[in-house]
Structure 1
């Protein structure tokens, strides 16, 4: 019985993190640190955003998830790094496996109005005041590995808001 429950939970977790036929089509990175003080990192990013006029790009994911690794990989490329440098304070938050009840740092998502994380990654864009500007699309990023570079860049550029001073 326990094996069946464990297997069903693992299958659910893997299904929530969509698969892609060609994992080499996107870069990957593993920036989600379970031991990081996520709340402190978010608060520091909000403080920097208040000074810089940028928004906060809060990436809620996990290293076990290829969609999370893919999004993080794109964010490390020169094209995305330039967009982030101009418009965002980026914070990666490890959320574990919330799909199976083994989530962590979920209070951070709740703090900004994201009631539930049903797949990873989720992506919140926050104003310097901590107001989420994309609650309607925050949970749609769990297919990040199958999105094109151009589509990801266009969405992040649109969410960046007005240029930082």
Structure 2
């Protein structure tokens, strides 16, 4: 009987979906990031860019990171600077396919934000999505919205929670 129970438990564990392994963010020195003046391409075809990001993420086994924002937004520009920091950018490239989507003054590409769970309550709204379309942070899309008050390390640590393990 014990052998049968052990076999059932082992089978159940093997059949359970794999949990995401914890990923550790790199150490990001304070004070090195500089805001990016215009991180969002206002002329880009956002739908095509998102489709391309998903295709690449699937091929490379990465998470898609959709960054909804506007060039007028200080937190968006600061977040872009942190993500471009030489201590963090290679790590982001290793784990994510990042696509920046310009929302204008909430008058552009809002259908994409709605599709991926954004609530248009402000920017930046960063949505982490598996290549299969599962949103990894449905209740945390505005976690980086106050980038001005976050340390670079806090941003990196938040991203690590969404990285594929």
Q: TM-score band (shorter)?
A: 0.7 to 0.9
Equivalent residue for 1:132, pick from 132, 135, 149: 135
Equivalent residue for 2:104, pick from 71, 96, 119: 96
Q: CA deviation at 1:139?
A: 2.2
2:111 & 2:154 partners in 1: Cα distance? 29
- 1:65 maps to 73
- 1:105 maps to 109
1:52 has 2:60 as partner: yes
Unmatched 5+ residue regions in structure 2? 1-30
Task: Give the TM-score, by structure 1 length.
Answer: 0.76
Secondary structure of the structure 1 residue equivalent to 2:64: strand
Alignment check: 8 A CA contact 1:112 1:131 kept: no
Higher helix share: 1
CA RMSD of the aligned region, Å?
A: 1.5
Which stretches of structure 1, 4 residues or more, deviate above 4 A after TM superposition? none
Equivalent residue for 2:35, pick from 18, 28, 31: 28
Unmatched 5+ residue regions in structure 1? 1-23
Secondary structure of the structure 1 residue equivalent to 2:93: helix
User: Radius of gyration: which is bigger?
Assistant: 2
2:33 & 2:91 partners in 1: Cα distance? 18
2:33 & 2:105 partners in 1: Cα distance? 22
Give the total of aligned pairs: 134
